[in-house]
């Protein structure tokens, strides 16, 4: 009996133990499942926060943006000299409206956040819909049902200079880029004709209609593809100097105003005979004949490789949308195509931004900096959230190469075709370009250069569509911009 009782007791204990284990197992099982689930959730959340969300949030068609904007009031955009360029205000019906105090002046680098988002409004969408006010303030706002104030982005743009460049272009179609060569910071970026982002919704249909030939919404500085004309001779000369060691200095070409090759002819501007020219003089006076001679002598593959190192055929390392500049030179290219390439015509197309970056590289001793439009992110109280430091893209020239090209560019302004760009506030180095784009000989006018020549603070690139020659039209516009920069101490000393 005793044994039986004991057995029963043991059995009971075993059963209880078994049931407890079973219960525990199911609890542990559930815990494991939930644990994994939460770990997965946490991992995904972390991944989303760190990697995916900036991309997802910046997608202009993503619906998450609208849900984020219900809890965070979109932050502002400021110029580097602390002018308000874009801000949001709550309307009586509870919706937010975006205001752009400078209207059309900043429209292209800033973009818009209605009808989709573009430019900086798109690139930093996530930052402006993120709030970095203290956590207790966020909790208070959440309890009170109020929106948290989003962070503001401070650009590298100088409001005074941007307005000046915008006014200098007047009614002319074209673009201006002003950059600090030593940092890559963009101080001004203008594209004309522009549009007023305050009236975007009302003007939308007219802006995108087929009858509108002005392409107002296009940022010509970053997406406008133009034949670079003679500004491209800088890269032709660099390729020639590189390929010919010391002997490039011995090159002489006698210009009678027309370069003739296999029955085809290429005139210098107005058929002007430059006489005997060398590489320096050829750049100063923009002689087509000597550059055609250099182009024919070059190894086409090496030349193309060099142009690709200078970011032809690829997107530029900048936070806003841009179109790759193109060149279709290859080993099968005909001699005539090669001749046209050497003077920046034919198949070569370049954005004003890339032209400014190449000019800046020469000014910066051969080091190309990444172009930069964002300086810092701050919270609503102005407290720093993130500072963006200048970054090198690559060393693309040796110091002697950059010095040589820089000295030649100084000759362009001091004695050659670019005299109209000379500033009373400092020596300018640059290159003119008159790029034909019709059979009738209509020309886009280019000037790209930097100042002061010996100690560059700013690089300026100007293109005026269909306006005439670079020396006559674009150089005087660049001069006014150099005058403004140097007299207002804009740009850093290298
Ligand atoms: Zn010539």
Q: Which domain holds residue 140?
A: 66-155
Which DSSP string do the residues of 336-395 spell out, in sequence order? HHHHHHHTT-TT-BB-HHHHHHHHHHHHTTTEEEPPB-EEEEE-TT--EEEEPPP-EEEE
What is the value of pTM for the model shown? 0.87
Domain end residue (candidates: 130, 155, 180): 155
Structure tokens at 285: 């006076």
Tell me the CA–centroid distance for residue 147 and ligand 1, in Å: 66
| CATH code of the domain containing 181 | 3.40.710.10
> How far is it, in rounded angstroms, from Cα 266 to Cα 259?
5
Tell me the CA–centroid distance for residue 275 and ligand 1, in Å: 7
Instruction: Verify that 137 and 196 share a domain, yes or no.
Output: no
Tell me the CA–centroid distance for residue 323 and ligand 1, in Å: 33
The backbone region for 453, taken as left when phi is positive above 0, alpha when psi lies in -120 to 50, beta otherwise, is alpha
Q: Alpha carbon 405 to chain centroid distance?
A: 24
CB atoms within 10 A of CB 134: 12
Structure tokens at 483: 């005058």
Tell me the CA–centroid distance for residue 353 and ligand 1, in Å: 28
3-state class (DSSP) for residue 21: helix
494 residues of the chain, pLDDT tens digit each: 444 445 555 555 555 555 655 555 555 545 554 454 445 544 544 444 444 555 555 555 555 666 677 899 999 999 999 999 999 999 999 899 999 999 999 999 999 999 999 999 999 999 999 999 999 999 999 999 999 999 999 999 999 999 999 999 999 999 999 999 999 999 999 999 999 999 999 999 999 999 999 999 999 999 999 999 999 999 999 999 999 998 999 999 999 999 999 999 999 998 999 999 999 999 999 999 999 999 999 999 999 999 999 999 999 999 999 999 999 988 889 999 999 999 999 999 999 999 999 999 999 999 999 999 999 999 999 999 999 999 999 999 999 999 999 999 999 999 999 999 999 999 999 999 999 999 888 999 999 999 999 999 999 999 999 999 999 999 999 999 999 999 999 987 54
| 420 in any annotated domain | yes
> How far is it, in rounded angstroms, from Cα 89 to Cα 320?
25
CA dihedral in degrees (474, 479, 481, 482; nearest 10)?
140
Structure tokens at 449: 């250069």
Instruction: Verify that 310 and 413 share a domain, yes or no.
Output: yes
Instruction: Verify that 122 and 22 share a domain, yes or no.
Output: no
* Nearest C-alpha neighbor of 290 from the set 268, 264, 262: 268
| 141 in any annotated domain | yes
> How far is it, in rounded angstroms, from Cα 432 to Cα 233?
10
Tell me the CA–centroid distance for residue 454 and ligand 1, in Å: 28
Instruction: Verify that 181 and 99 share a domain, yes or no.
Output: no
CB distance 369 to 389 below 8 Å: no
> How far is it, in rounded angstroms, from Cα 82 to Cα 348?
39
Structure tokens at 335: 């001699």
> How far is it, in rounded angstroms, from Cα 128 to Cα 117?
12
Structure tokens at 485: 């920069």
Instruction: Verify that 217 and 335 share a domain, yes or no.
Output: yes
Tell me the CA–centroid distance for residue 416 and ligand 1, in Å: 12
């Amino acid at each position: 009996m005793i044994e039986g009782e004991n057995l029963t007791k043991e059995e009971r204990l075993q059963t209880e133990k078994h049931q407890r284990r079973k219960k525990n197992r199911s609890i542990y099982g559930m815990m494991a499942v939930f644990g994994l689930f939460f770990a997965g959730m946490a991992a995904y959340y972390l991944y989303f926060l760190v990697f995916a969300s900036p991309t997802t949030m910046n997608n202009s068609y993503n619906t998450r943006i609208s849900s984020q904007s219900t809890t965070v009031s979109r932050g502002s955009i400021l110029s580097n000299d602390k002018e308000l360029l874009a801000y949001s205000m709550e309307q009586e019906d509870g919706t937010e409206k975006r205001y752009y105090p400078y209207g059309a002046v900043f429209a292209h680098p800033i973009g818009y956040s209605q009808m989709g988002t573009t430019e900086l409004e798109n690139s930093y969408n996530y930052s402006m819909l993120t709030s970095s006010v203290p956590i207790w303030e966020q909790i208070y706002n959440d309890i009170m049902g109020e929106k948290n104030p989003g962070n503001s982005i401070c650009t590298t743009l100088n409001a005074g200079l941007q307005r000046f460049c915008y006014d200098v272009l007047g009614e002319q179609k074209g673009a201006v880029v002003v950059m600090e060569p030593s940092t890559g910071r963009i101080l001004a970026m203008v594209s004309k004709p522009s549009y007023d982002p305050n009236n975007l919704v009302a003007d939308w249909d007219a802006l995108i209609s087929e009858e509108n030939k002005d392409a107002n919404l296009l940022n010509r500085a970053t997406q406008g593809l133009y034949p670079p004309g003679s500004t491209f001779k800088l890269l032709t000369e660099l390729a020639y100097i590189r390929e010919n060691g010391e002997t490039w200095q011995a090159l002489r070409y006698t210009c009678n105003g027309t370069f003739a090759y296999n029955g085809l002819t290429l005139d210098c501007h107005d058929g002007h005979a430059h006489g005997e020219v060398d590489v320096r003089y050829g750049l100063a006076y923009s002689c087509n004949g000597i550059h055609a001679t250099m182009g024919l002598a070059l190894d086409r593959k090496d030349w193309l490789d060099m142009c690709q190192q200078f970011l032809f055929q690829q997107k530029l390392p900048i936070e806003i949308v841009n179109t790759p500049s193109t060149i279709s030179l290859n080993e099968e290219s005909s001699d005539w195509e090669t001749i046209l390439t050497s003077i920046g015509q034919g198949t070569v197309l370049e954005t004003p931004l890339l032209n400014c970056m190449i000019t800046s590289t020469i000014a910066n001793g051969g080091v190309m900096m990444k172009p930069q439009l964002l300086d810092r992110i701050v919270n609503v109280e102005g407290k720093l959230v993130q500072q963006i430091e200048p970054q090198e893209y690559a060393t693309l020239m040796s110091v002697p190469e950059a010095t040589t090209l820089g000295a030649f560019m100084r000759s362009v302004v001091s004695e050659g075709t670019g005299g109209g760009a000379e500033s009373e506030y400092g020596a300018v180095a640059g290159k003119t370009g008159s790029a034909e784009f019709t059979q009738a000989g209509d020309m886009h006018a280019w000037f790209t250069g930097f100042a002061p020549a010996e100690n560059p603070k700013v690089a300026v690139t100007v293109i005026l569509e269909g306006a005439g020659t670079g020396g006559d039209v674009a150089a005087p516009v660049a001069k006014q911009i150099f005058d403004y920069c140097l007299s207002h101490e804009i740009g850093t000393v290298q």
